[in-house]
């Protein structure tokens, strides 16, 4: 593992200058995606802005921002879709921005998403730069930007906001800022249920560091001084660990109280959406069902290849000795996404926050000459833009 805590962290303005190539590259990729979406939507007589701000989950978030919690839809099959399933930080920010500007709730969601996507790109750069250096950091941001479902980063969804909070929390862990890491993890827990992955990563890193401090040789004078200094840092680590789960736990408990169903009331809300964690059984059945006919068998084969690629990337991350918090976080996001019991079409976007899985690809890209890496990124950016435009004008993200 890289000796992270000894690396000098640049001050704010210097850090922004260091990240500037990554942020400019990211902005260019996202602008290309938005232009492709605008052109494709216009050709189909649709509004690209509506697709970004007033469809699917974006509508649920704006309704929470405008009307609060309590709205639900009862389906003919008896399922109840309650807006309590949507965590509150994004609608809170939408409501705040609407209150202080002339923006509508939908406009506010779009602005929050754009700003959060830039913050997320900067966070991804900061983590990769801390572990592997600046060139790898730039490549990591570009690889994250050109993902096939990268257009979601520009939608009024919570993926960009969550990724920003998760990335900066992980960066704070890597640089020993435990209280900051805990506070950001708590905010991530107010954004999406997968915020538990950030909590797990922070707890794993804090416990590992505490165990390492206790193993310092007692007879070594330098070690004793180090142990004394480490003991003085126990309080921030413990405080960070206590802060980390507050957001997620607080919202889940509030939902239980609000519904009158106790601490597990949130799981009843998720059950109304036919969503839960079943270890991947339902997803495996979904893939198996694809092989009942020839055309769909190709889709089934693609899903198997995709899952195998994700697992292979995680193995590579382990072999490259990524820092423990990154491995725990990526593993938890991967497990929660693949083992959810419904909304199988959502899995690609649910994996967007798992950016540590992209670091092996970023390292490979960083080893190429600049001209070759630019050509690769350019081709992938064009493909991502076209796919995103086609996707949102078709079935889109459920």
Each residue's pLDDT tens digit, 64-119? 999 999 898 998 888 889 999 999 999 999 999 999 999 999 999 999 999 999 99
Q: Are 83 and 72 in contact (CB under 8 A)?
A: yes
CB 322 within 8 A of CB 362: no
Kindly give, in sequence order, each residue whose CB lies less than 8 Å from that of residue 308, ignoring residues fewer than 6 positions away. Answer: none
Q: Which of 89-93, 207-211, 310-314, 330-334 has the lowest mean pLDDT?
A: 207-211
Instruction: Give the other-Cβ count within 10 Å of 344's Cβ.
Output: 16
Question: Which one is predicted more confidently, 121 or 261?
Answer: 121
Q: To the nearest whole number, what is the mean pLDDT of the chain?
A: 90
Q: What pLDDT sits at residue 397?
A: 74
Query: Are 175 and 5 contacting, i.e. CB atoms less than 8 angstroms apart?
Result: yes
- Ramachandran sector of residue 41 (left: φ over 0; alpha: ψ -120 to 50; beta: rest): alpha
Per 3-state DSSP, the chain is made up of helix, strand and coil in percentages (nearest 5) of 75, 0, 20
Task: Write out the H or E segment, with its range, that includes residue 82.
Answer: strand 80-82
Q: Residue 343 pLDDT more than 80?
A: no
Got the DSSP string for 203-249?
HHHHHHHHHHHHTS-TT-HHHHHHHHHHHHTHHHHHHHHHHTTHHHH
Q: pLDDT category, 221, cuts 50, 70, 90?
A: very low
- For 224: left if phi > 0, alpha if psi spans -120 to 50, otherwise beta; the answer is alpha
Q: Phi, psi at residue 69, to the nearest 5°?
A: -85, 155
**3-class secondary-structure state, position 72:** strand
Average pLDDT over residues 163-186: 97
Q: Please name the residue that has the structure tokens 């930080």.
A: 89
pTM tops 0.85, yes or no = yes
Please say whether the beta carbons of 98 and 65 come within 8 A.
Answer: yes
Average pLDDT for 223-247: 78
Centroid of chain to Cα 278: 21
- Overall residue count recorded for the chain in this entry: 398
CA distances from 240 to 45, 192, 388 (A): 50, 19, 38
Structure tokens at 267: 């799981």
Confidence of residue 222 (pLDDT cuts 50, 70, 90): low
Res. 303 pLDDT band, cuts 50 70 90: confident
């Amino acid at each position: 593992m890289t000796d992270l805590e000894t690396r000098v962290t640049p001050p704010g303005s210097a850090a922004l200058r260091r990240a500037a190539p990554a942020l400019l590259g990211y902005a260019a990729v996202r602008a290309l995606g938005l232009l492709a979406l605008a052109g494709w939507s216009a050709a189909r007589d649709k509004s690209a802005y509506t697709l970004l701000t007033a469809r699917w989950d974006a509508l649920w978030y704006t309704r929470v921002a405008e009307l609060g919690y309590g709205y639900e839809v009862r389906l003919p099959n008896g399922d109840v879709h309650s807006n309590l399933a949507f965590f509150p930080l994004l609608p809170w920010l939408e409501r705040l921005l609407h209150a202080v500007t002339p923006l509508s709730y939908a406009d506010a969601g779009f602005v929050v998403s754009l700003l959060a996507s830039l913050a997320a790109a900067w966070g991804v750069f900061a983590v990769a730069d801390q572990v592997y250096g600046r060139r790898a950091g730039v490549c990591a941001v570009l690889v994250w930007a050109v993902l096939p479902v990268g257009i979601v980063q520009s939608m009024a969804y919570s993926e960009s906001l969550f990724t920003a909070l998760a990335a900066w929390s992980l960066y704070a862990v890597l640089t020993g800022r435990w209280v900051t890491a805990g506070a950001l993890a708590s905010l991530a827990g107010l954004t999406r249920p997968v915020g538990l992955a950030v909590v797990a990563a922070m707890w794993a890193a804090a416990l590992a560091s505490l165990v390492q401090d206790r193993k310092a040789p007692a007879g070594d004078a330098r070690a004793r001084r180090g142990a004394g200094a480490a003991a003085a840092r126990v309080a921030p680590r413990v405080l960070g660990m206590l802060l980390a789960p507050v957001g997620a736990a607080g919202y889940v408990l509030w939902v239980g109280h609000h519904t009158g169903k106790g601490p597990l009331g949130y799981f009843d809300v998720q059950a109304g959406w036919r969503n839960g964690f079943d270890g991947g059984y339902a997803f495996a059945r979904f893939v198996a069902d694809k092989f009942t006919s020839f055309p769909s068998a190709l889709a089934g084969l693609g899903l198997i290849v995709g899952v195998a690629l994700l697992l292979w990337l995680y193995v590579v991350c382990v072999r490259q000795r990524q820092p423990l918090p990154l491995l725990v976080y990526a593993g938890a996001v991967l497990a929660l996404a693949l083992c959810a019991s419904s909304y199988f079409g959502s899995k690609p976007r649910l994996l967007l926050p798992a950016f540590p899985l992209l670091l092996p690809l970023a390292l490979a890209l960083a080893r190429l000459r600049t001209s070759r890496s630019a050509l690769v990124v350019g081709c992938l950016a064009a493909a991502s833009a076209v796919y995103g435009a086609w996707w949102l004008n078709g079935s889109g993200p459920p």
